[in-house]
Amino acid sequence: MNRILLLICIIIPQLVLSQSEVKTSQAFLFAPHIAFHKVGGDMKDRFNNFNSIGMNMDYKFKNNLTIGVDYDWFFGRAVKDNGIFSNITGESGLIIDQNGDFSVINLLIKGNYATVNLGYLINLPRVQSNSGILIQLGGGFMQHKIDIFSSQITIPQLNGDYEKGYDRLAYGFATKQFIGYQYLVNHNRYHFRAGIEFNQGYTKGQRTWNFNSNDSGLDKRFDTTTALKLGVIIPIYTKKAEDEEFFYN
């Protein structure tokens, strides 16, 4: 993960510089971003706050309407243990592997969030046709589970399909609301977007049985996050300035 973030930090500024001059008020806007999520709803019973990286891909029309898609990949050590392996641990609370040794297990959040969005840009200042307050609404798909990671250790109790009895996989329809500021001005080298996003997942458990709690894993859930997002914008313009009816210098 650290290598991925380093690569993003190196490549993205170069792409931004290569598209530094705002030419028209119509463009494809690519916005790779990072986000910090505060969990809520049923999600906070299973996870702590976590991070995500992702990509917005929007098309902005001359009338300031936007349409696009957004994708986030969840990651982090955000799982609340809550005795998830209570049925296979000894008095020490640790799992014994096939060699008779105590095993070390990391629990990570693993998930995806994708939406199709409609939005509107309120120009601020008014003379900048591509900057201002951006409001977006979206609908799509949310999925998350507990990723059980044990390094170089074989644990028969968690191998293969047995892992599915503990990972609490859930997915379903999702909605989002975003409000933030988009900075995309003439003759400036750097463009960015920052704001707050409210996410709601109407998810359902996908595992027939949870081994540790000995009950059904097909529960319906209402999973929410409130995310602080920050991204850079890489614009690709679709018209020349002289082809538009107006153009701001």
- Which pLDDT score is estimated for 241? 55
Residue pair 69/76 in contact (Cβ under 8 Å)? The answer is no
- In the Cβ-directed half-sphere of 124, how many Cα atoms lie within 13 Å? 10
Q: How far apart are CA 185 and CA 91, in angstroms?
A: 63
> Is residue 16 classed as helix, strand or coil in its secondary structure?
helix
Please choose, from the candidates 226, 224, 200, 213, the residue with its C-alpha nearest in 3D space to the C-alpha of residue 44: 224
Please tell me the total number of residues recorded for the chain in this structure: 249
Q: What is the distance, to the nearest Å, from the Cα of residue 201 to the centroid of all Cα atoms in its chain? A: 13
Q: Which fold has domain 31-243?
A: Porin (2.40.160)
152-154-157-159 Cα dihedral, nearest 10 degrees: 80
The three-point CA angle 35-40-111 to 5° equals: 50
Q: Which residues contact 54 (CB under 8 A, 6 or more apart)?
A: 32, 33, 35, 70, 71, 72, 73, 113
- DSSP code, position 47: B
pLDDT per position in the chain (249 positions), as tens?
555 554 454 445 444 444 445 457 899 999 999 999 999 999 999 999 999 999 999 999 999 999 999 999 999 999 997 778 877 776 666 777 777 777 778 899 999 999 999 999 999 888 888 999 999 999 999 999 999 887 555 677 787 788 889 999 999 999 999 999 999 987 777 899 999 999 999 999 999 988 888 888 899 999 999 999 999 999 998 866 555 544 444
Q: Which helix (H) or strand (E) holds 4?
A: helix 2-18
Q: Could you tell me the pTM of the whole model?
A: 0.84
Q: How far apart are CA 53 and CA 7, in angstroms?
A: 13
Q: How far apart are CA 86 and CA 142, in angstroms?
A: 28
